[in-house]
Amino acid sequence: MALALTEEHLQLAESVRGWAQRSSPPETVRAAADSQDGGTGRYREILAPGLAEQGLLGLHLAEDDGGQGFGLGELAVAAEELGRVLLPGGFLPTVLASAVLSAAGVTGKLIAGLADGSRLGAVSLVPAPGPGPASPGLAGTGQAGPGLAGTGQAGPGLAGAAGQDGGLVVDGETGPVLGGSMADLIILPVVTGAGESWVALDAVDLEVTPLDSLDLTRPLASVRARQLTVPADRVLSGIASQQVAGLAAVLFGAEACGIADWAVHTASEYAKIREQFGRPIGQFQAVKHRCARMLIAAEQAAAAVWDAARALSPADGADAEQQQFAAAVAAALAADAAVTCAHECIQVLGGIGYTWEHDAHFYYRRAMSIRALLGPTADWRAAAARLALDGVRRPVRLELGDGESELRAQIRAELAAIAPLQGKERNHALATGGWVMPHMPKPWGRGAGALEQVIIDEEMRASGVRAYNLAIGAWVVPALIQYGSKEQQDRFLLPTLRLDYLWCQLFSEPGAGSDLAGLKTRADRVDGGWKITGQKIWTSLAREASWAICIARTNPAEPRHDGISYFLLDMHAPGVEVRPLRDITGGQAFNQVFLDGVFVPDDCVVGEINKGWKIARTTLANERVALSQSWTFGSGVTELLAVAKAAPQFAAADIGELVCDGHAID
């Protein structure tokens, strides 16, 4: 998943990617890594003019300031693409500096020089290390968020005292500043008696000391000011640390998304061609699952960063707390995703990934550097948790386009008629109206397309009319609609949708779990039907269910995936024994089910005899869809937050991890 979603953003991404591949091939990255100045010379002479010519340094800036007049979202799209090719040099620190100036209301030559590539910028995100407590600026511990550098034992950074005409006199030292040794303009936080201020200083007025950098393609430096007088027009009174933190989270996070995407693509492509034991390694479950986890992390990061970019854009209308929440989620997920995906990519690559000759270690270094500069993930998670505990949310909003108003009014009116109903009367109205599974065809659903499904969900939330959970019945209904007979549909579908019938699934066996086609439960032909004998395990709701879907082998002579049939089994029939299965929590959510010659009549066989495997796969596919619907911000996290509020102590970072994951998935 990339940040670019709209047609315009896709075109922008394609354009940036094309320029980046031409201007910064792997040879350019290696040349920067091998140079003494981290590629500063090449960046100033070739890359910065090229970026300016493409308009990429000023995408987010007003046209009056030499920019393109777009916003943070467009800049994030560009940063992701440039991160994908590991562009060396000063792009990221420069656009972060200009974004900070723009947010502070600065206009004119100071910001225009960053847009046209004639000047390079940098922003200090990390105070100098020291024995004292964290300062209230860059390393603050405020309840709204972690600032920029977490809650470690950072030193005081730069201290300031009031100067003449609204200016400041500053003294002190910062920690590592990305691009500091190549910057012409450096933006720094200053702690004063009145709080914290940000200042924009010319590098020539500062002591800039190059530092060794884990990322060999971008230089670092510490910055020191010695009783430096800062005029009032260089004091950025219009911006606070939380805003700087948000901008850093978006832009560093966007670049991290590019790194994660590169790692996923590189690993998966290698897994397709690298062979071991006569097969591509991508066919082995361990490699396949590793790549899948990488993809999940990358997609969560992209979703979170895109949401943060939108939140920080004026058009979104997000308040300050929503902006802080979105930024905290983006910072918590994106940097970790880049590190994780780069690490896992090296693991998939094996020995070649461990060599200097492969590019993977450059991406890993960049990812580790991003995470270090943004500050501890635990602090960002804790910030997200605290905001969530205070009730801050970023609800999902979709732009639905033409036809929305009329359709919404119709749905709202129909739901208004159902809202006063209670109990079975409401269940009947929901079932007969197709509201329980609106995507299903009529008369069981509403035949709703994607637009109508979204509107239904929003209007049901607004009206307080919520469709109940059919549990395993939600897997049964689609299978019966597709494969069931008319008599089976009439008998089972409406009662299931009304919650008159609760279902369980008799699929897994002690020797046939993930290898489901290896099942041994048999069905023997008898007069008028079949007698089923065998053992099933991991059966949820077996004690409560009225009916079960069951697969059994009806012809052992046929190949494994053939000779299996699909049955509807009465859980109260003679020969059914349910034994609760106690798990490690002490609970009994699962059961073993023993079937001893259980009679199933012919009219409870779904589809053709010996062709049940296809129906079982349909059921499993619907199981995955149904289970995925529970992975939203409101699934379990709300209850967790309620418990945490009541507890005197709670692990904010651990709660924040769940909050961040839930928000990104939502």
| Residue 5 CA: distances (Å) to CA of 1, 63, 80, 81, 397 | 9, 24, 13, 14, 15
Provide CB contacts within 8 A for 254, sequence distance 6+.
3, 75, 76, 77, 79, 80, 83, 305, 309, 334
Torsional class of 166: left (φ above 0), alpha (ψ -120 to 50), beta (otherwise): left
Q: Which helix (H) or strand (E) holds 548?
A: strand 547-553
| Residue 234 CA: distances (Å) to CA of 199, 247, 634 | 6, 20, 45
**Contact predicate 228/272, CB 8 Å:** no
Q: How many CA atoms lie within 13 A of 497 on its CB side?
A: 27
The owner of tokens 């420069």 is 94
**Which pair of structure tokens corresponds to residue 222?**
């510490």
The owner of tokens 């007979």 is 485
* Angle at the Cα of 79 from the Cα atoms of 380 and 202, rounded to 5 degrees: 85
User: What whole-number distance in Å separates Cα of residue 128 and Cα of residue 400?
Assistant: 49
**Contact predicate 414/460, CB 8 Å:** no
* Cross-strand bridge partners of residue 191: 159, 196
Can 623 be counted among the known catalytic residues? yes
Closest by CA to 39, choosing from 27, 49, 28, is 28
**Which pair of structure tokens corresponds to residue 425?**
């009367």
| Residue 355 CA: distances (Å) to CA of 215, 349, 350 | 16, 10, 10
User: What whole-number distance in Å separates Cα of residue 193 and Cα of residue 207?
Assistant: 24
**Which pair of structure tokens corresponds to residue 309?**
């970019």
The helix/strand/coil state of 601 is: strand
For residue 397, give the DSSP letter: -
**Which pair of structure tokens corresponds to residue 404?**
């929305």
Provide CB contacts within 8 A for 165, sequence distance 6+.
231, 232
- Other Cβ atoms within 10 Å of 46 Cβ, number: 15
Provide CB contacts within 8 A for 153, sequence distance 6+.
129, 130, 131, 132, 133, 134
Taking every pair of Cα atoms in the chain, the longest distance, rounded to a whole number of angstroms, is: 103
**Which pair of structure tokens corresponds to residue 355?**
């060599």
Let me know how long the chain is. Answer: 666
Provide CB contacts within 8 A for 20, sequence distance 6+.
81, 82, 84, 85, 87
For residue 501, give the DSSP letter: S
Given the residues 14, 81, 623, 657, the one annotated as active site: 623
The helix/strand/coil state of 607 is: coil
**Contact predicate 542/578, CB 8 Å:** yes
Side chain identity at residue 70, one-letter code:
F
For residue 117, give the DSSP letter: T
DSSP states of 173-194 as a string?
Answer: EBS-EETGGG-SEEEEEEEETT
**Which pair of structure tokens corresponds to residue 593?**
């089910």
* Cross-strand bridge partners of residue 242: none
Known catalytic residues are: 623
